């Protein structure tokens, strides 16, 4: 998009209140113009005149639901941010929308304009600006194939509860576009992989459904983290929305802490909080990976991990939806290896194996 024209934002929502709030927030920005549509068929008519740069999309609407609309417009490659309330049906649909190509989720304003302006306006504006720079490409056959090393068999119930404490840890951070990237990375992890702790920027109420979806499609176990959970082999713990995730020592292994507290880099959970804790307690027994996302959350924490002896990786620009967080980490000297998304799982496994061999020498 040319830097000398405004970002054209299309808000598609059947709620007049939501349209009013979103329009009021975004129209205040000098680099944005807002178009509204109360349902997808009207949105399609408006798009025939001029395509938007970003779409804010509700999922539950009359005549055509948001998922159908998302599939219909996907060939245009327009970045889509889902605007959803966190109830059971909506959370599942929102997670499905991320699989269909949406790049992020914003919680639908449930309060009045003043409260939303106080609590969420800055996050929404940042998200729209980041989305306008996102690369949204229709996946080719190569992208649809599992990453190297992926275990395609479904896990058997007998695997549950057999995991042992992990003496090594993999910490992963992601934001916009990260849900698809995490499907790729975690889907390639074998049952004997080192324990994983993951921060994906996502509102409260959606992370449990996201973790459940990952658990259904990965060989390893994936679940939303609870305070005190042990870091175990073959287990990925996802930070709950609106809570920070950090790592503490427990005997010869590790456990997680789930806490509230102030946002860090405008995020809760924050990747920096996770990475800094891993640097402090795991040092060279850790591997850190920073995936696609806007902003700079995680860049300083990854640098601390590298200085503590951890292996550090970042997704390359060509495979990122938004090359923000990895770019900042590279710029600050935090990254040992930059690689396309398809190689990240292999590099994680190689790094953890190398550190295990060093410990046994």
Structure confidence by residue, pLDDT tens digits, 76-110: 999 999 988 766 667 888 888 998 889 999 877 66
Q: Average model confidence (pLDDT) for the chain?
A: 88
Write down the pLDDT at residue 158: 43
- Please provide the DSSP assignment of 240-303 as one string: PTTSEEEEEEETTEEEEEEE----BTTBSS-HHHHHHHHHHHTGGGEEEEE-SBSS-TTHHHHH
Of 132, 165, 197, the last residue of a domain is: 132
Q: How confident is the model at residue 345 (pLDDT cuts 50, 70, 90)?
A: very high
Six-digit token string for 315:
């997704």
Q: How confident is the model at residue 1 (pLDDT cuts 50, 70, 90)?
A: low
Residue 267 sits in the same domain as residue 207? yes
Beta bridge partners of 274: none
Please indicate, yes or no, if residue 320 is contained in any of the structural domains: yes
Q: How far apart are CA 338 and CA 304, in angstroms?
A: 17
Range of the domain at 203: 157-360
CB 282 within 8 A of CB 359: no
Please indicate, yes or no, if residue 291 is contained in any of the structural domains: yes
How buried is 215 (Cβ within 10 angstroms: 0-12 exposed, 13-18 middle, 19+ buried)? middle
Please indicate, yes or no, if residue 230 is contained in any of the structural domains: yes
Q: Which residue has the higher pLDDT, 357 or 157?
A: 357
Active site residue 201: yes
Please indicate, yes or no, if residue 147 is contained in any of the structural domains: no
Write down the pLDDT at residue 212: 94
Q: How confident is the model at residue 143 (pLDDT cuts 50, 70, 90)?
A: very low
Peptide bond into 269 cis (omega under 30): yes
- Pairing relation of β-strands 221-224 and 195-200? unpaired
Residue 340 sits in the same domain as residue 202? yes
CB 195 within 8 A of CB 229: no
Mean pLDDT of the region 55-64: 92
Choose, from 167, 201, 243, 244, the residue flagged as catalytic. 201
pTM over 0.85: yes
∠ at Cα 149 (147, 154), nearest 5°? 90
Residue 99 sits in the same domain as residue 196? no
What is the C-alpha end-to-end distance of the chain, expressed in Å?
A: 53
∠ at Cα 168 (361, 266), nearest 5°? 140
Residue 49 sits in the same domain as residue 83? yes
Strand order across the 195-200 sheet: 221-224, 235-238, 195-200, 169-174, 286-290, 311-315, 337-339
pLDDT at 147 over 90: no
Mean pLDDT of the region 227-241: 97
On the CB side of 256, how many CA atoms lie within 13 Å of its CA?
32
Residue 317 sits in the same domain as residue 176? yes
Determine phi and psi for 118, rounding to 5 degrees: -70, -40
Q: How confident is the model at residue 116 (pLDDT cuts 50, 70, 90)?
A: low
Provide the greatest CA pair distance for the chain: 67
CATH number, domain with residue 238: 3.40.50.180
Neighbours of 204 (CB within 10 A): 14
Q: Which residue has the higher pLDDT, 251 or 155?
A: 251
Residue 202 sits in the same domain as residue 122? no
CATH number, domain with residue 54: 3.40.50.2300
Please indicate, yes or no, if residue 141 is contained in any of the structural domains: no
Residue 223 sits in the same domain as residue 278? yes
Comparing 161-165, 203-207, 210-214, 216-220, which segment has the lowest mean pLDDT? Answer: 161-165
Residue 31 sits in the same domain as residue 114? yes
Please indicate, yes or no, if residue 139 is contained in any of the structural domains: no
Q: Which residue has the higher pLDDT, 106 or 12?
A: 12
Closest CA to 220 of 169, 150, 290, 170: 150
Residue 38 sits in the same domain as residue 94? yes
Place of tokens 């973790």: 211
Choose, from 120, 166, 175, 319, the residue flagged as catalytic. 175
pLDDT at 139 over 60: no
Residue 340 sits in the same domain as residue 208? yes
Comparing 136-145, 197-206, 229-238, which segment has the lowest mean pLDDT? Answer: 136-145
Percent of the chain with pLDDT over 90: 68
Residue 128 sits in the same domain as residue 192? no
Write down the pLDDT at residue 138: 54
CB 279 within 8 A of CB 310: yes
Please indicate, yes or no, if residue 149 is contained in any of the structural domains: no
Choose, from 13, 297, 300, 316, the residue flagged as catalytic. 297
Write down the pLDDT at residue 349: 97
Domain count, the chain: 2
Q: How confident is the model at residue 54 (pLDDT cuts 50, 70, 90)?
A: very high
Question: Can you count the helices (H) and strands (E) in the chain?
Answer: 13, 14
Please indicate, yes or no, if residue 2 is contained in any of the structural domains: no
Residue 230 sits in the same domain as residue 194? yes
Write down the pLDDT at residue 357: 58
E-strand ranges in the chain read 7-12, 32-37, 54-57, 80-84, 104-107, 169-174, 195-200, 221-224, 235-238, 244-250, 253-259, 286-290, 311-315, 337-339
Mean pLDDT of the region 131-145: 61
Of 72, 98, 132, the last residue of a domain is: 132
């Amino acid at each position: 998009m040319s830097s000398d024209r405004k970002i054209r934002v299309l808000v598609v929502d059947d709620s007049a209140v939501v349209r009013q709030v979103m329009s009021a927030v975004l129209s205040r920005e000098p680099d944005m113009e807002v178009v509204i549509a109360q349902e997808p068929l009207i949105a399609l008519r408006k798009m025939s005149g001029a395509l938007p740069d970003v779409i804010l999309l509700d999922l539950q609407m009359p005549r055509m639901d948001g998922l159908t609309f998302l599939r219909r417009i996907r060939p245009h490659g327009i970045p889509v941010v889902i605007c959803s309330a966190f109830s059971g049906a909506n959370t599942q649909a929102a997670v499905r929308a991320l699989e269909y190509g949406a790049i992020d989720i914003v919680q639908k304003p449930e309060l009045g304009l003043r409260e939303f302006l106080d609590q969420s306006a800055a996050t929404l504006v940042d998200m729209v600006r980041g989305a306008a720079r996102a690369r949204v490409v229709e996946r080719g056959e190569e992208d649809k194939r599992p990453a190297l090393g992926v275990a395609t068999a479904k896990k058997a119930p007998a695997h549950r509860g057999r995991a042992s404490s992990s003496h090594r840890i993999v910490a992963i951070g992601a934001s916009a576009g990260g849900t698809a990237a995490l499907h790729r990375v975690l889907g390639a992890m074998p049952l004997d992989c080192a324990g994983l702790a993951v921060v994906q920027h996502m509102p409260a109420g959606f992370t449990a459904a996201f973790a459940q979806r990952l658990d259904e499609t990965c060989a390893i176990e994936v679940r939303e983290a609870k305070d005190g959970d042990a870091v175990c082999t073959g287990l990925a713990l996802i930070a709950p929305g609106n809570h920070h995730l950090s790592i503490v020592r427990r005997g010869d292994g590790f456990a997680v802490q789930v806490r509230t507290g102030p946002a860090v880099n405008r995020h809760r959970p924050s990747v920096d909080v996770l990475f800094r804790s891993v640097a402090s307690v795991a040092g060279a027994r850790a591997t850190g990976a920073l995936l696609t996302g806007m902003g700079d959350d995680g860049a300083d924490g990854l640098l601390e991990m590298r200085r503590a002896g951890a292996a550090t990786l970042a997704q390359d620009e060509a495979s990122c939806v938004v090359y923000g967080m990895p770019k900042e980490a590279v710029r600050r000297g935090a990254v040992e290896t930059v690689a396309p998304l398809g190689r990240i799982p292999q590099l994680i496994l190689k790094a953890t194996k190398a550190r295990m061999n060093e410990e046994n020498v």
